[in-house]
Amino acid sequence: MYKVNEVFETIQGEGSFTGAAAIFIRLQGCPVGCSWCDTKHTWDIKDELAMPLGDIVIKTAETEHWAQVTAAELLARFIQEGYQAKHVVITGGEPCMYDLNPLCELLHQNGYSTQIETSGTFTIKAPAQTWVTVSPKVNMAGGYKVLQSALDRANEIKHPVAMEKHVDELLQLLQHTDTKAKLIYLQPISQQRRATELAIAMCKKHNWRLSVQVHKYLGIS
């Protein structure tokens, strides 16, 4: 069973799948505690805010409401809603609080590709063909450590930056990580001009890539 805060179809606005049509599943629950998080409504799981999946799909505003559903129920909802995208992004909250194997395997069996967006602070339970985006969260309020196993599993590492210390944190994380087959992105926090300029400069210096949250520039979900 998965606690789902949102299900919607849009385009992926970050990382290597930028511009791809995608179905987003946003799961409820996250103890990591990022101060600049833009989905704080997904942090807490309050039993009294449970609601049917049908009501979750038609939500028009960010709320703490969630639905408890199975992988099969999610797949059926995709079909019922007429979603055409074949790439599914599982995000949160912190999606790796859940065992994502059953959901991803069912989606793969039905012609979908899957991607997980995680902080890297929980063990990743997903099939080998699932694309894993680790956005490492260092020294956050929840006190969770970024796991080396998550960095090793990542297909791409997408690090949020606002100041030089965030670049230093990434360099330290990468010391023991084989990055030859990985894509490394810097993502300016909140599209701040100073953060964007820093990210561009560091991408040039280290031959990394820039992720600019295209969906926020376009003003879409």
Domain range list for the chain:
2-158
209: helix, strand or coil: strand
91 belongs to an annotated ligand binding site: yes
Q: What angle do CA 58, 61, 7 make, to 5 degrees?
A: 45
Concatenate the DSSP letters of all residues of 109-154 into one string: HTT-EEEEEE-S-S-----TTSEEEE----S-TT-PPPPHHHHHH-
Tokens at 217, concatenated: 């520039």
pLDDT of residue 140: 86
pLDDT digits (tens, 9 = 90+) for 29-79: 999 998 888 899 999 999 999 999 999 999 889 999 999 999 999 999 999
104 belongs to an annotated ligand binding site: no
Concatenate the DSSP letters of all residues of 168-206 into one string: HHHHHHHTTS--TT-EEEEEEGGG-HHHHHHHHHHHHHH
127 belongs to an annotated ligand binding site: no
26 belongs to an annotated ligand binding site: yes
63 belongs to an annotated ligand binding site: no
135 belongs to an annotated ligand binding site: yes
The pTM of this model reads 0.94
55 belongs to an annotated ligand binding site: no
The segment with the largest mean pLDDT, out of 31-40, 84-93, 186-195, 205-214, is 84-93
Contact call for residues 107 and 90 (beta carbons, < 8 A): no
Place of tokens 């505003």: 61
Tell me which fold the domain 2-158 belongs to. TIM Barrel (3.20.20)
93 belongs to an annotated ligand binding site: yes
12 belongs to an annotated ligand binding site: yes
CA dist., res. 83 & res. 6, Å (int): 14
30 belongs to an annotated ligand binding site: yes
11 belongs to an annotated ligand binding site: yes
